[in-house]
């Protein structure tokens, strides 16, 4: 029964007495009361203990006495004791074991509330010693007849997994959780999904939520009946599902659409996220696609009638949605008009969305509104409104004239900050539409004296310098700025220097003194390196080659783009997958702000059906795959982002790497040397290193031992009675360059490349092409940890800035002393490239033959003994199809890439080549290649102590022989 407010007041008034005690022997008295025979007195005593605990007093000395009070039927008292237990179990683990029996008993209590309370508390006691005792009661509760107990137990599994993951897996609780997804009660389903999602987040490679059409159907059924938070868990889970085709995507969308009318805004945003994601798979020609667009608008509009804080979250999400699919809200411009009582953060966000939705159809309406805003009292808002008018002019060409006249009207108001903002945006309009609106320059010049902000002064100086030939007194105007040159900000000084040089090149006779004065101020009297450098460049240009100076300084400028503040497309796709979370409010991926980024997985939108993009394109670096002993061995793109951003993108340290626990190759076991490195993420098996950025130094080559322990057999020994036909050196195969990073994904920077190995040196041969409108400079490169420790051996040398439409070829030397981490696939390399614009990420696959070392030829007896020593299950067989080379040509071609023929023999008309190769980390691979004269298919058998490399060695064989 619910109590009314008066009753609640009485309770709080009476409860306050527990907090007001000043007795000296307090603990002693409480101990006596806790052991009292009277139930009421016991309850009062426990309340006092909880009160003391709440205000921070240490009452852990009463642990055994409080735990004794657990043996009671009174639910309220039990709750209080459990509360105490949760708080002190960590500091008193030995005492906490005393409570285990009561938990076990309570988990079998006839009252489901007590069973659920026991299982909930069990999950909150984070004590390793106790967890194994709690497995049995938890197993019973997971199969309890009461759904309330089952749903509580499901959450307990996730908490237990956080304390001891191995225990949960060994006890089979994860399988039980998966079974609960098919439970008849929707709340149990929702909690099971929530628990599995939480576990999957901390172990991204575990593939726990193995969703299929049947389980998706169960989730969609439960969606209609569970609570709002249950619905959010299920919707978030659905968003991670990959439908097999557009029909399945449409069917899911149809069943999720009713959630759009839910009263809870979090449910609405989660539903929008699912729909935005699955719409990627729907063809735009479908009638349903149009219907879905129409259905998405009303719920988003409704979110804007909530309180301001919720409005802001909705607006930040709408900002992303509008950038991805402006057509959803193109007819809803009016709801983004600012209300007088909106807080400033809501006003600014609405303004941003208005500009994104501005089009030829609604521009008149938008401009009228913006002009109104420009006369408001809030200075920040007015400035943003004036900027917005300029952005509209640049975005919608037909409105440019109207925008310019609106800006001129605003300049006439003579309100200082309005005038300054107007001048800044008019400069951009001149850049977008040259030779169109220069008639307004006279009006701008009238306001020269009122400008006091650096950005506005710099914009005005740029206008005077750019159009000096149209302004009669341009030299006087610029000279007026020179008087206080050293008091100006750097931005204004640089702009003034350039403007006066432009003026001199246009009117050389009248402005010689002026240009000498500014060059002297910039070079001799200034201590700003940027200003000095620019001054010296201009001085030398003007003194050595005035014609060249004219071509450089007065060159035609590229037009500015209409939307400079759009989020980069790949980041936008990722943020769409995070609608309704903090990432969508920050407009940053979780890896950028989640501490430690535990379990932050990179997400991207589904490829549209019929597109050429594969589901796992190299840019979305594969995540998942088998994990090794260490958690998250194969990094996802999200981790990569964190890893690479934390590294200094400066030049690598030159000189030999620090030797930390060098990898010692076994004296007998030649093939086992680099095995540990490949199979574990800690480098060289040294526990001290833990795989964090240390480097390993391979041991020097030791002479091959003569005895491998196994006696030489006669049968296989006879194979080597012939001389090994070793071909001549022909150079390692280099694959043609391919595009690794397309320009559209890197703000205009295109990177293509390939890998090569020559005379023991590995290099990455790159072509950088600038397809943007601005100059690129300050290049640097960094690799993420990878399977073979590949790392740049020198900085990325781009000697001159890369101008638009220019390409540069670079050969970057690599070494193999970087940090090692097993990747999936094994030859995956994740790269970050930085320039003056941003940091860009891509991943590529390197051919394994660049890692074949020059001393990979094994001595014959050694080959034989080692072949026998490696277990047969490590042997893998492959077919190399359509290769019509004879044995000598094959041998010669392979030796060029450091695959050495140890021996060759002819058996019943077919040639057998016995070959060895060694990888940079010391792993040996032995091969038998069978060539039949009449058959174009070769049979390759590989033996190696690290069988996972065999597939990649086979690919290297095929690549070398077929090219």
Helices (H), 265-399: 265-279, 287-303, 308-324, 344-357, 363-373, 379-395
Q: Cβ atoms within 10 A of the Cβ of 544, count? A: 9
Q: Are 389 and 425 in contact (CB under 8 A)?
A: yes
Show the tokens assigned to 244. Answer: 């097999």
With cut-offs at 50, 70 and 90, classify the pLDDT of residue 78.
confident
pLDDT at 367 over 70: yes
Stretch among 163-167, 336-340, 600-604, 700-704 having the lowest mean pLDDT: 700-704
In the predicted model, what is the mean pLDDT of residues 212-235? 85
Which pLDDT tens digit goes with each residue over 555-565?
A: 887 777 766 56
User: In this predicted structure, what is the pLDDT of residue 695?
Assistant: 37
Q: How confident is the model at residue 905 (pLDDT cuts 50, 70, 90)?
A: confident
pLDDT tier at 20 (50, 70, 90 boundaries)? low
Bigger pLDDT: 114 vs 4: 114
Residue 383 to residue 543: CA distance in whole angstroms = 43
pLDDT per position as a tens digit, 856-880: 888 888 888 888 888 888 888 888 8
Q: Mean per-residue pLDDT for 147-163?
A: 87
| Mean pLDDT within 326-332 | 86
For 593-632, how does the pLDDT look when each residue is reduced to its tens digit (9 = 90+)?
887 655 456 677 766 654 444 333 334 333 333 333 333 3
Q: Which candidate, 942, 950, 947, places its Cα nearest to that of 867?
A: 942
- Are residues 596 and 632 in contact, defined by beta-carbon separation less than 8 angstroms? no
**Confidence category of residue 16, pLDDT binned at 50, 70, 90:** low
- Which of 6-15, 496-505, 634-643, 934-943 shows the lowest mean pLDDT across its residues? 634-643
CB 490 within 8 A of CB 455: no
Q: What was the pLDDT predicted at 501? A: 92
SS3 540: helix
Highest averaged pLDDT of the listed ranges 183-187, 430-434, 820-824, 923-927:
923-927
Quote the pLDDT of residue 204: 65
> Tell me, what's the pLDDT at 2?
43
pTM over 0.95: no
Angle between helices 147-163 and 173-180 (to 10 degrees): 140
What confidence tier does 282 reach under pLDDT thresholds 50, 70, 90? confident
pLDDT digits (tens, 9 = 90+) for 747-772: 889 999 999 998 888 999 999 999 88
Is the preceding omega at residue 370 within 30 degrees of 0, hence cis? no
**Using CA of residue 856, residue 860, residue 862, residue 863, what is the dihedral sign?**
positive
Average the pLDDT over each of 183-197, 325-339, 399-413, 695-709 and give the range with the smallest value: 695-709
- The better pLDDT of the pair 23, 437 is held by 437
- Give the residue-averaged pLDDT of 97-111: 78
Is the separation of the CB atoms in 878 and 871 below 8 Å?
no
Q: Any residues with CB less than 8 A from the CB of 686 and at least 6 apart, and which?
A: 660, 661, 696
* Residue 512 CB neighbour total at 10 angstroms: 11
Question: In the chain, what percentage of residues exceed pLDDT 90?
Answer: 14
**Range with lowest mean pLDDT among 17-21, 105-109, 784-788:** 17-21
pLDDT of residue 205: 63
* pLDDT tops 70 at residue 398: yes
Q: What is the pLDDT, as a whole number, of residue 640?
A: 38
Contact (Cβ atoms closer than 8 angstroms) between residue 256 and residue 271: yes
pLDDT at 638: 40
β-sheet bridge partners, residue 782: 832
The pLDDT value given to residue 619: 41
User: What separation in angstroms does the CA of 413 have from each of 178, 361, 421, 425, 763?
Assistant: 68, 29, 13, 17, 63
Q: Provide the terminal-to-terminal Cα distance of the chain, rounded to the nearest Å.
A: 82
pLDDT of residue 106: 80
The whole-number pLDDT of residue 608 equals 61
Per-residue confidence (pLDDT) for residue 927, from 0 to 100: 93
Q: Which of 509, 500, 9, 579 is nearest to 266 (CA)?
A: 579
Supply φ then ψ for residue 177, to 5 degrees.
-60, -45
Which string of DSSP letters, residue by residue, matches 658-697? P--SPBPPPSS-GGGTTHHHHHSSSGGG-TTTTTSS----
- Kindly report the backbone phi and psi dihedral angles of residue 763, in degrees, each rounded to the nearest multiple of 5, phi listed first: -140, 155
User: Which pLDDT belongs to residue 482?
Assistant: 84
Model confidence at 677: pLDDT above 80: no
Those residues whose C-beta lies under 8 Å from the C-beta of residue 669, and which sit 6 or more positions away, are 945
Q: How confident is the model at residue 362 (pLDDT cuts 50, 70, 90)?
A: confident
Give the Å distances, CA to CA, from 394 to 374, 433, 485. 18, 8, 32
Q: How confident is the model at residue 6 (pLDDT cuts 50, 70, 90)?
A: very low
Indicate the SS3 state at residue 941.
strand
Higher local confidence (pLDDT), 36 or 327: 327
What DSSP assignment string belongs to 555-615?
PPPPPPPS-SSPPPHHHHHHHHTTTTSHHHHHTS-GGGTSGGGTT-----PPPPTT-S--T
Provide, rounded to the nearest whole percent, the portion of the chain with pLDDT above 70: 83
Regarding predicted confidence, which is higher, 513 or 204?
513
Neighbouring residues of 703: CB distance < 8 A, sequence distance ≥ 6? none
Rounded distance, CA 958 to CA 963, Å?
8
Question: Given this model, what pLDDT does residue 900 score?
Answer: 92
Is residue 737 left, alpha or beta, with left meaning phi > 0 and alpha meaning psi from -120 to 50? beta
Quickly state the pLDDT bin for 499 (edges 50, 70, 90).
very high
Tokens linked to 939: 């049979």
**Burial grade of 808 (CB within 10 A; 0-12, 13-18, 19 or more):** middle
Helix (H, G, I), strand (E, B) or coil at 942: strand
Distance, in Å, from the CA atom of 441 to the CA atom of 449, rounded to the nearest integer, reads 15
The mean pLDDT value of the chain amounts to 79
Tell me the two tokens of residue 590.
């979780």
pLDDT in tens, 651-662: 444 444 433 333
Average pLDDT over residues 919-945: 88
Least confident of 479-488, 527-536, 778-787: 479-488
Residue 763, pLDDT score: 92
Across 51-60, 349-358, 808-817, 823-832, least confident range: 51-60
């Amino acid at each position: 029964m619910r109590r009314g407010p008066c009753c609640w007041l009485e309770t709080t008034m009476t409860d306050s007495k527990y907090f007001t005690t000043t007795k000296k022997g307090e603990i002693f008295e409480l101990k006596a009361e806790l052991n009292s025979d009277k139930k009421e007195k016991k309850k009062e005593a426990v309340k006092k203990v909880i009160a003391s605990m709440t205000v921070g007093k240490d009452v852990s000395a009463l642990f055994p006495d409080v735990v004794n009070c657990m043996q009671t039927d009174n639910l309220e008292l039990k709750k209080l004791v459990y509360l105490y237990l949760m708080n002190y179990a960590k500091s008193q683990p030995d005492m906490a074991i005393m409570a285990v029996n009561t938990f076990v008993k309570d988990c079998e209590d006839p009252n489901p509330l007590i069973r659920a309370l026991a299982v909930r508390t069990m999950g909150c006691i984070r004590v390793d010693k106790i967890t194994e005792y709690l497995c049995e009661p938890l197993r019973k509760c997971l199969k309890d007849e009461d759904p309330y107990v089952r749903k509580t137990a499901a959450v307990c599994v996730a908490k237990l997994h956080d304390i001891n993951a191995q225990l949960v897996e060994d006890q089979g609780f994860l399988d039980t959780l998966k079974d609960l997804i098919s439970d008849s009660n929707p709340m149990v389903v929702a909690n099971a999904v929530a628990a599995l999602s939480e576990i999957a987040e901390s172990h991204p490679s575990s593939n726990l939520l193995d969703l299929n059409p049947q389980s998706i159907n169960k989730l969609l059924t439960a969606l209609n009946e569970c609570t709002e938070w249950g619905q959010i868990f299920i919707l978030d889970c659905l968003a991670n599902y990959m439908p097999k085709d557009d029909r399945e995507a449409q069917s899911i969308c149809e069943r999720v659409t009713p959630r759009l009318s839910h009263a809870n805004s979090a449910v609405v945003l989660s539903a929008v996220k699912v729909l935005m994601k699955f719409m990627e798979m729907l063809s735009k020609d479908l009638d349903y696609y149009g219907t879905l667009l129409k259905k998405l608008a009303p719920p988003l509009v409704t979110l804007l009638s909530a309180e301001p804080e919720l409005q802001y979250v909705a607006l930040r999400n709408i900002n992303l949605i509008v950038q991805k699919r402006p057509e959803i809200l193109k007819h809803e411009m009016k709801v983004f008009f600012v209300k007088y009582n909106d807080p400033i953060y809501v006003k600014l966000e609405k303004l941003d969305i208005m500009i994104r939705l501005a089009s030829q159809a609604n521009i008149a309406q938008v401009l009228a509104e913006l002009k109104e805003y420009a006369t408001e009292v809030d200075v920040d808002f007015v400035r943003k409104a004036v900027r917005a008018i300029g952005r509209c002019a640049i975005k919608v060409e037909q409105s440019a004239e109207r925008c310019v006249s609106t800006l001129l009207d605003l300049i006439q108001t003579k309100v200082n900050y309005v005038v300054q903002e107007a001048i800044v945006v008019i400069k951009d309009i001149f850049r977008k539409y040259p030779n169109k609106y220069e008639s307004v320059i006279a009006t701008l010049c009238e306001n020269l004296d009122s400008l006091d902000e650096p950005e506005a002064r710099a914009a005005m100086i740029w206008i005077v310098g750019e159009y000096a030939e149209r302004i009669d007194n341009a030299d006087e105007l610029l000279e007026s700025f020179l008087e206080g040159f050293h008091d100006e900000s750097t931005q204004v000084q640089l702009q003034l220097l350039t403007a006066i040089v432009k003026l001199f090149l246009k009117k050389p006779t009248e402005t010689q003194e002026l240009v000498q004065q500014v060059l002297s101020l910039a070079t001799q009297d200034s201590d700003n390196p940027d200003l000095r450098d620019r001054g010296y460049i201009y001085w030398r240009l003007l003194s050595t080659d005035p014609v060249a100076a004219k071509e450089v300084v007065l060159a035609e400028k590229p037009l500015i783009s209409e939307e400079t503040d759009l989020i980069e497309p790949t980041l936008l796709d990722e943020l769409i997958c995070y609608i309704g979370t903090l990432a969508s409010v920050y407009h940053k991926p979780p890896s950028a702000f989640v501490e430690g980024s535990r379990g932050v997985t990179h997400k991207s939108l589904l490829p549209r059906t019929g597109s050429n993009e594969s589901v796992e394109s190299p840019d979305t670096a594969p995540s998942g795959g088998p994990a090794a002993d260490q958690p998250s061995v194969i990094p996802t793109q999200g981790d990569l982002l964190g890893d690479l951003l934390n590294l200094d993108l400066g030049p690598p340290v030159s000189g030999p790497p620090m030797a930390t626990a060098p990898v010692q190759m076994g004296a007998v076991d030649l093939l086992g040397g680099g095995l540990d490195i490949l199979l574990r993420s800690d480098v060289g098996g040294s526990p001290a290193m833990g795989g964090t950025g240390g480097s390993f130094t391979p041991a020097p080559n030791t002479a091959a031992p003569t005895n491998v322990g196994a006696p030489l057999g006669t049968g296989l020994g006879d194979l080597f009675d012939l001389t090994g036909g070793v071909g001549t050196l022909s150079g390692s195969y280099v694959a043609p360059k391919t595009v690794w990073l397309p320009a559209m994904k890197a703000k205009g920077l295109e990177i293509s490349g390939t890998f090569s190995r020559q005379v023991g040196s590995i290099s990455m041969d790159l072509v950088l092409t600038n397809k943007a409108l601005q100059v690129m400079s300050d290049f640097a490169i960094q690799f993420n940890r990878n399977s073979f420790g590949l790392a740049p051996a020198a900085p990325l040398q781009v000697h001159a800035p890369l101008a638009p439409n220019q390409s540069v070829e670079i050969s970057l030397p690599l070494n193999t002393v970087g940090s090692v981490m097993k990747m999936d696939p094994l030859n995956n390399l994740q790269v970050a490239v930085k320039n003056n614009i941003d940091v860009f990420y891509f991943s590529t696959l390197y051919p394994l033959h660049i890692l074949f070392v020059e001393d990979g030829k094994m001595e014959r007896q050694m080959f034989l003994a080692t072949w026998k020593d490696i277990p047969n299950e490590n042997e893998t067989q492959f077919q190399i199809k359509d290769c019509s080379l004879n044995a000598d040509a094959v041998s010669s071609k392979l030796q060029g890439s450091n695959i050495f023929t140890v021996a060759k023999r002819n058996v019943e008309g077919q040639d057998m080549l016995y070959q060895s190769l060694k990888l940079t980390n010391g792993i040996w691979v032995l091969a038998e290649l069978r060539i039949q004269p009449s058959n174009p298919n070769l049979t390759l058998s590989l033996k190696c102590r690290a069988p996972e490399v065999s597939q990649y060695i086979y690919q290297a064989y095929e690549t070398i022989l077929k090219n």
